[in-house]
């Protein structure tokens, strides 16, 4: 299938407090966004749409074109919105007419490898379902009310969701048209619109850079340090 990957990079990154929007922070000589796009291009998509903060569209385009190399014609950059959902919606508008499968990926998952992207594409292709990469939950999870523990949740029933999440393009567009509330991820939005969602194995390298500790870990990983 013809695959487009929407990379959402329009968040402000306030929890990271690294002085720039998260996707534009450097891991080494390259930014979070540039690293993320390396994994994306490894999967040979037909189109890559980067959703950037409104005042950084030019910067994102330069970064993305360098990551794309000879495939720079595949890259589009659009301005994002107030919420992640609006940013995805803006990205969807820019997807070319002949694209059949759309992946939505957080730029903040900078080290997600190309084979994870491939796994999601293959599962969408095989099932027609929405597809979410997941990892088992390691911690014991408690239900809380203020400072009181009110119960345990069986972690065998739980999984931690990552991106890229993949969908048939028609399914994702239809789900975005009917979405009336804010969702934390695209698969929840698509599930609420009545479509089945499958899981595939996630990848530890696809962790989301959110806190300064995550940033330090990502920097250590790209520098090749043992951690
Ligand atoms: O804030 P959070 O870490 O959940 O953001 C996940 C991804 O969504 C990030 O890559 C961020 O840049 C993107 N995002 C966006 N537009 C927003 C908020 C977040 O593109 N308004």
Tens-place pLDDT, residues 5-50: 999 999 987 777 777 899 999 999 999 999 999 999 999 999 999 9
Q: How far is CA 35 from each of CA 7, 94, 104, rounded to the nearest angstrom?
A: 12, 22, 16
Q: How many domains does the chain have?
A: 1
**Helix, strand, or coil (residue 122):** helix
Ligand 1 test: best mutation among 53, 106, 163, 206, most atoms within 8 Å of CB? Answer: 106
Q: Are 130 and 165 spatial neighbours (Cβ–Cβ below 8 Å)?
A: yes
The answer, yes or no, to whether the previous bond of 166 is cis (omega within 30 of 0) is no
Q: Residue 40 domain-assigned?
A: yes
Q: Residue 70 domain-assigned?
A: yes
Strands (E) located in the chain: 3-8, 47-52, 75-79, 101-106, 130-136, 141-145, 148-153, 159-161, 165-168, 197-201
Pocket lining: 112 vs ligand 1, CB cutoff 6 Å: no
pLDDT value of position 20: 84
Pocket lining: 210 vs ligand 1, CB cutoff 6 Å: yes
Express each pLDDT in 111-157 by its tens digit: 999 999 999 999 999 999 999 999 999 889 999 999 999 998 998 89
Q: In angstroms, rounded to a whole number, what is the distance separating the alpha carbons of residues 219 and 35?
A: 11
Express each pLDDT in 180-202 by its tens digit: 999 989 999 999 999 999 999 99
Query: Biggest alpha carbon distance in the chain?
Result: 57
- 31 secondary structure, DSSP code: B
Domain that holds residue 75: 3-222
CATH number at residue 15: 3.90.550.10
ipTM above 0.85, yes or no: yes
Q: Residue 12 domain-assigned?
A: yes
Q: Residue 18 domain-assigned?
A: yes
Q: Residue 199 domain-assigned?
A: yes
Pocket lining: 32 vs ligand 1, CB cutoff 6 Å: no
Q: Residue 188 domain-assigned?
A: yes
Q: How confident is the model at residue 1 (pLDDT cuts 50, 70, 90)?
A: confident
Q: Residue 45 domain-assigned?
A: yes
> Could you tell me how many helices (H) and strands (E) the chain has, helices first?
7, 10
Residue 42 structure tokens: 């490894």
Q: Residue 227 domain-assigned?
A: no
């Amino acid at each position: 299938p013809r695959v487009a990957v929407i990379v959402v990079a329009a968040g402000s990154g306030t929890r990271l407090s690294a002085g720039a929007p998260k996707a534009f922070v450097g891991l080494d000589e390259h930014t979070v966004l540039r690293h993320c796009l390396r994994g994306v291009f490894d999967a040979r998509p037909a189109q890559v749409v980067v959703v950037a903060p409104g005042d950084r569209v030019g910067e994102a385009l330069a970064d993305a074109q360098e990551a794309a190399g000879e495939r720079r014609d595949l890259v589009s950059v659009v301005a994002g919105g107030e919420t992640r959902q609006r940013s995805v919606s803006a990205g969807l508008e820019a997807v070319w007419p002949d694209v059949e499968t759309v992946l939505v990926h957080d730029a903040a998952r900078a080290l997600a490898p190309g084979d994870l992207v491939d796994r999601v594409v293959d599962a969408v292709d095989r099932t027609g379902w929405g597809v979410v990469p997941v990892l088992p939950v390691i911690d014991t999870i408690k239900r809380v009310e203020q400072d009181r523990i009110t119960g345990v949740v069986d972690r065998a029933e739980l999984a931690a969701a990552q991106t890229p999440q993949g969908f048939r393009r028609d399914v994702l567009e239809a789900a975005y048209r009917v979405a009336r509330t804010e969702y934390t991820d695209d698969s929840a939005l698509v599930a609420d619109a009545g479509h089945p969602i499958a899981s595939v194995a996630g990848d530890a390298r696809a962790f989301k850079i959110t806190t300064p500790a995550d940033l330090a870990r990502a920097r250590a990983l790209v520098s090749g340090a043992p951690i």
